[in-house]
Amino acid sequence: MDDKTIMENLLLTTKGVCDLYMHGTIESAGTSTVHSAFKSALTDALNMQGDIYKTMTDKGWYQTQNAEPSKLNEVKQKYSCPGCK
């Protein structure tokens, strides 16, 4: 297994962990000690995910594309609320 594949697996796993910790944080809102533990773990996991992402982008292993302005406007119009403002 090459380094890129290992990093992709780490990133996917870390994203999954972030999702679990986020739900734990939301669902434990009534218990402050448990909530704080989940929130702290979520922050740590998000930082780890950010570090992995940065390493991958620095190495050219995670490439993104800029959205076209016309596509952004299309989505914006699709989900806008005509009566809101």
Q: What's the pLDDT tens digit per position in 21-36? A: 999 999 997 789 999 9
Q: Two tokens at 32?
A: 């402050």
The domain of 36 spans 3-63
Q: Is residue 21 situated within a structural domain?
A: yes
Q: Is residue 70 situated within a structural domain?
A: no
Q: Is residue 81 situated within a structural domain?
A: no
With tokens 């986020």, the residue in question is 22
Q: Is residue 80 situated within a structural domain?
A: no
Q: Mean pLDDT, the chain, as a whole number?
A: 92
pLDDT at position 65: 87
Q: Is residue 73 situated within a structural domain?
A: no
pLDDT at position 48: 98
Query: Is residue 63 a contact partner of residue 73, using CB atoms and an 8 Å limit?
Result: no
Q: Is residue 75 situated within a structural domain?
A: no
Query: What's the structural domain count of the chain?
Result: 1
Q: What are phi and psi of 21, to 5 degrees?
A: -65, -35
